Chains A and B, each alone.
Chain A
Amino acid sequence: MIRKMFRCQVELRAYWRKLKAFVKTLSLQRQMMENLIIAKARQDALQRKMEERRLRLQEEANRRFAASGAMTAEEQEQRTLYTSVLEYEQDHDWPKLWKANMKENPNDVTLVSRLVSYLLSQSDHPVVKLLRKHQYRVYNRLYPMISKSLPQSPNLLLRPSCSTHTLLHPETQRKPTSTVSSSSQSVSTSLSLSPSLSHDLHANCDNEEGEELPAQATVDRENSFEDLEQFLTQMDWAPPHSSRGDVGSDSDPTCDSSMLNEGHTQELEMRALKEHLKAIVKDIHIAIDQLLSLCLLSFEFLNTASSKDLCLASIEEAFFTPLWSALVALFRKVNREREQAFETSMKLYRDASPGDVGVPLKLFPQEPGTLQGSYPYESAVQELKLLVKDCCPQKKLECIVRTLRVICACAEDYRCLHEVDSTPKTAAIGADDLLPILSFVALQCQCPQLVSECAALEEFIHEGYLIGEEGYCLTSMQSALAYVESLHTGGAHFPADKLI
């Protein structure tokens, strides 16, 4: 009995403990609830405050823009953007610190570029957000154009029967034509890529082919720019589909009927492409203008001629770097014929001497031994070859300027070789000498893409540079390229020169 009572007591105590624990939990929970309510109240207050602040900043932005009477949609957007800049500055101290720093050292020019590059590294700053927004917009407009550029013409792609055929026998329709020399293994990559694209377009009708697709080739639209770039570098070497003979000879009869129309379709396609390119170029200009003015609004002291230029240069570099390969892919599509002409001349003049394109004898050494294994103007050729590696227009322009300077230096050296009497009479070379040399250098570069790169530079060079040295050098480059393109047809123009 006593034992039983004892056991009861033990159980009771255990219950009691449990009860106490339960009560404790309850009170804890109640406390937590209270805390939550307090927190909620605080959050509401904060939100109200934030809203008030937003309104206040909006008003401030309105005041700043008050000068201009009626508001356009553009101004409205600008105002919203400026509000977000003010908001950002309330939450972050660095803009104030930089502003103070700039005020103290108004003559330190390095500060400007340091500030802008710092600004561009702050991914949550409205300027950077706007930058990304524009980049995605441009990319999304470019993407369908250049993905269509895969060897199939789009009208074929849109027919399920053909696309199935494509998926099963990609190699029958896309014979790598005799295009670029160094590309055999990249062509195969681009072939494995293209089926996945047509698959994307016809996911509904061609499901059974799914497992045959190479896994790495599924191109995800949301992917980062690195993937885009990788994708594009593979695509750069995709053979053009213009040579009808190659395509038509061994392809399916259902496709043959459409070949008849291909010439016409291509023409229409090209016109559409050009229109599209024009629109994209315009968009890019608008985007950069908008970015620049938001930058200048955020940091007013940047609004001087020199700081503005620096600012613009940084913005452009950030803007173009991830997009350039996609952009130039579209330029290459539009300029395909010019590139092909360039390539034909390039092959024809593979072993040409500078004299063959009109370089005066005094401006290059004739004896092969003189240059010890190299060829005339090789250093300029090497310099120019770097152009396609840069990813922003300003850097590319600088590359062209450097190329021309190297040419002048070489010309000077070669002239000294000729004039045995060592009186160094430096006479700078004029355009009459420069253009033939530049044409020779462009030929030796062996890079038809230069044509499209320069066409793109022409669109994106600043007005301020247009009449300056950069503009002059770009114009000279364009002239030399046009001359090279004309070389292979130019029976009428050039035989006399070849006799020199």
Chain B
Amino acid sequence: MAAGGAGGNSGGKTYSFKVVLLGEGYKLIIPPLPLQASFLTKKLNITGKRVNLAIWDTAGQERFHALGPIYYRDSNGAILVYDITDEDSFQKVKNWVKELRKMLGNEICLCIVGNKIDLDKDRHVSVEEAESYAESVGAKHYHTSAKLNKGIEELFLDLCKRMMETAQAEERLKGNGASQSASSRRGVQIVDDEPQATPAGGCCSSG
């Protein structure tokens, strides 16, 4: 039901999403890339639609805390990673959730990720506590192990699907033919692949 709604020509669309990473996500989730600073792009193909992810790592340090908002703005999703052996890291996740909801409302897809499940014997954050917390704030919970490369791909796939659903719902709300007036900078950018046949009218008003 979701696919048809996108203003008729839902054929060759590419969705671009921005996802912010909070917590220890970067080192654990993103494979090291030479010469690229804390930033990663990921291309996925989901139910025949192309999705480009731009993944932004953000600093968790207190000294840069005040600067967080400029990282979060315009993001479609957030991945909040805690270490299941470290209760403090889970507390931090809770703070970030509050901040993100305050800043970006309910449109942002939140993923709370319990990492290091290979160290389950040292677990300090219980599965039940984490999952019920996630549910209470409208987030989804995931279990990963960066070391064993477990659960990471699923996390991204699932997040993409959710972001696409949000985007499509937003499109439907805007009504037909709204794709050209990408309303604000916020939210998804959807690019039609085919060059427009007639460049008349709207092409100069897209600023």
Point out the residue from B18, B37, B206 that lies within 8 Å of A476, measured CB to CB. B37
CB distance from A438 to the nearest CB of B (A): 9
CB pair B70–A479 under 8 Å, yes or no, is yes
CB pair B37–A408 under 8 Å, yes or no, is yes
CB pair A405–B61 under 8 Å, yes or no, is no
List residues of chain B with CB within 8 A of the CB of A455: none
CB pair A434–B38 under 8 Å, yes or no, is yes
Point out the residue from A431, A466, A471, A478 that lies within 8 Å of B57, measured CB to CB. A431
List residues of chain B with CB within 8 A of the CB of A225: none
Question: Beyond A296-B199, A408-B37, A429-B37, is A78–B59 a contact (Cβ under 8 Å)?
Answer: no
CB pair B27–A472 under 8 Å, yes or no, is no
Please name the residue on chain B nearest to A481 by beta carbon: B67
B63, B75, B185, B203 pick with most chain A CB within 10 angstroms: B63
List residues of chain B with CB within 8 A of the CB of A483: 63-64, 67
> A interface, how many residues as a size bin?
35 or more
CB distance from B77 to the nearest CB of A (A): 12
Tell me if A494 is interfacial: C-beta within 8 Å of chain B.
yes
Give A75 to B204 CA distance when docked, in angstroms.
10
Question: Beyond A300-B199, A303-B199, A432-B60, is A479–B71 a contact (Cβ under 8 Å)?
Answer: yes
Tell me if A390 is interfacial: C-beta within 8 Å of chain B.
no
Give A431 to B196 CA distance when docked, in angstroms.
39
The A-contacting residues of B in range 1-19, CB under 8 angstroms, are 16-18
List residues of chain B with CB within 8 A of the CB of A447: none
Give A467 to B54 CA distance when docked, in angstroms.
6
CB pair A289–B204 under 8 Å, yes or no, is yes
CB distance from B66 to the nearest CB of A (A): 8
List residues of chain A with CB within 8 A of the CB of B70: 475, 478-479
List residues of chain B with CB within 8 A of the CB of A430: 26-27, 38, 57, 59
CB distance from B50 to the nearest CB of A (A): 13
CB distance from A387 to the nearest CB of B (A): 16
Give A193 to B110 CA distance when docked, in angstroms.
58
Give A476 to B37 CA distance when docked, in angstroms.
10
Give A493 to B62 CA distance when docked, in angstroms.
9
Tell me if B148 is interfacial: C-beta within 8 Å of chain A.
no
Give A64 to B197 CA distance when docked, in angstroms.
12
Please name the residue on chain A nearest to B204 by beta carbon: A293
Tell me if A74 is interfacial: C-beta within 8 Å of chain B.
yes
Please name the residue on chain B nearest to A458 by beta carbon: B70
CB pair B36–A408 under 8 Å, yes or no, is yes
List residues of chain A with CB within 8 A of the CB of B35: 405, 408-409
How many A-B pairs have beta carbons closer than 8 Å: the answer is 136
CB pair B203–A296 under 8 Å, yes or no, is yes
The B-contacting residues of A in range 151-204, CB under 8 angstroms, are none
Give A455 to B149 CA distance when docked, in angstroms.
40
Tell me if B191 is interfacial: C-beta within 8 Å of chain A.
yes
Tell me if B198 is interfacial: C-beta within 8 Å of chain A.
yes
List residues of chain A with CB within 8 A of the CB of B38: 428-431, 434, 472, 476
List residues of chain B with CB within 8 A of the CB of A426: 32, 34
Give A358 to B201 CA distance when docked, in angstroms.
52
CB distance from B29 to the nearest CB of A (A): 10
CB distance from A168 to the nearest CB of B (A): 49
Point out the residue from A305, A471, A486 that lies within 8 Å of B191, measured CB to CB. A305
Give A482 to B71 CA distance when docked, in angstroms.
13
List residues of chain A with CB within 8 A of the CB of B66: 482, 486
CB distance from A455 to the nearest CB of B (A): 12
List residues of chain B with CB within 8 A of the CB of A37: none
Question: Beyond A427-B32, A431-B59, A435-B64, is A469–B41 a contact (Cβ under 8 Å)?
Answer: yes
CB distance from B176 to the nearest CB of A (A): 17
CB pair B60–A305 under 8 Å, yes or no, is no
CB pair A472–B54 under 8 Å, yes or no, is yes
The B-contacting residues of A in range 456-473, CB under 8 angstroms, are 463-464, 466-469, 471-473
CB distance from A356 to the nearest CB of B (A): 12
CB distance from A428 to the nearest CB of B (A): 4
Give A142 to B18 CA distance when docked, in angstroms.
35
CB pair A428–B30 under 8 Å, yes or no, is yes
Tell me if A352 is interfacial: C-beta within 8 Å of chain B.
no
CB pair B67–A464 under 8 Å, yes or no, is no
List residues of chain A with CB within 8 A of the CB of B30: 428
CB pair A286–B207 under 8 Å, yes or no, is yes
List residues of chain A with CB within 8 A of the CB of B75: 467
The A-contacting residues of B in range 33-86, CB under 8 angstroms, are 33-39, 41, 54, 56-64, 66-67, 70-71, 74-75
A467, A482, A483, A497 pick with most chain B CB within 10 angstroms: A467
List residues of chain B with CB within 8 A of the CB of A464: 189
CB distance from B110 to the nearest CB of A (A): 18
Give A289 to B205 CA distance when docked, in angstroms.
8
Please name the residue on chain B nearest to A307 by beta carbon: B195
Give A467 to B16 CA distance when docked, in angstroms.
9
Tell me if A68 is interfacial: C-beta within 8 Å of chain B.
yes
0/1 per residue, B163-207, Cβ < 8 Å to A?
A: 000000000000000000010010001010101101111011111
Point out the residue from A64, A466, A479 that lies within 8 Å of B59, measured CB to CB. A479
CB pair B56–A497 under 8 Å, yes or no, is no
A64, A300, A303, A430 pick with most chain B CB within 10 angstroms: A430
Tell me if A297 is interfacial: C-beta within 8 Å of chain B.
yes
Question: Beyond A65-B200, A286-B207, is A467–B18 a contact (Cβ under 8 Å)?
Answer: yes
Point out the residue from A305, A435, A469 that lies within 8 Å of B36, measured CB to CB. A469
CB pair A68–B200 under 8 Å, yes or no, is yes
CB pair A475–B36 under 8 Å, yes or no, is no
List residues of chain B with CB within 8 A of the CB of A497: 63
List residues of chain B with CB within 8 A of the CB of A473: 37, 39
CB pair A475–B206 under 8 Å, yes or no, is no
Point out the residue from A434, A471, A494 that lies within 8 Å of B37, measured CB to CB. A434
Please name the residue on chain A nearest to B56 by beta carbon: A472
CB pair B204–A290 under 8 Å, yes or no, is yes
List residues of chain A with CB within 8 A of the CB of B17: 467
Tell me if A110 is interfacial: C-beta within 8 Å of chain B.
no
CB pair B74–A467 under 8 Å, yes or no, is yes
Tell me if A285 is interfacial: C-beta within 8 Å of chain B.
yes
CB pair A408–B34 under 8 Å, yes or no, is yes
Closest 6 CB pairs of A and B: A430-B26, A467-B18, A479-B67, A428-B32, A293-B204, A472-B39
6 A-B pairs whose Cβ atoms sit less than 8 Å apart in the complex = A75-B201, A289-B205, A408-B35, A430-B57, A472-B37, A494-B63
Q: Beyond the given A436-B61, A467-B74, A472-B38, could you list 6 further A-B residue pairs with CB under 8 A, ordered by the A residue number?
A: A303-B195, A303-B196, A305-B191, A428-B33, A431-B38, A435-B67
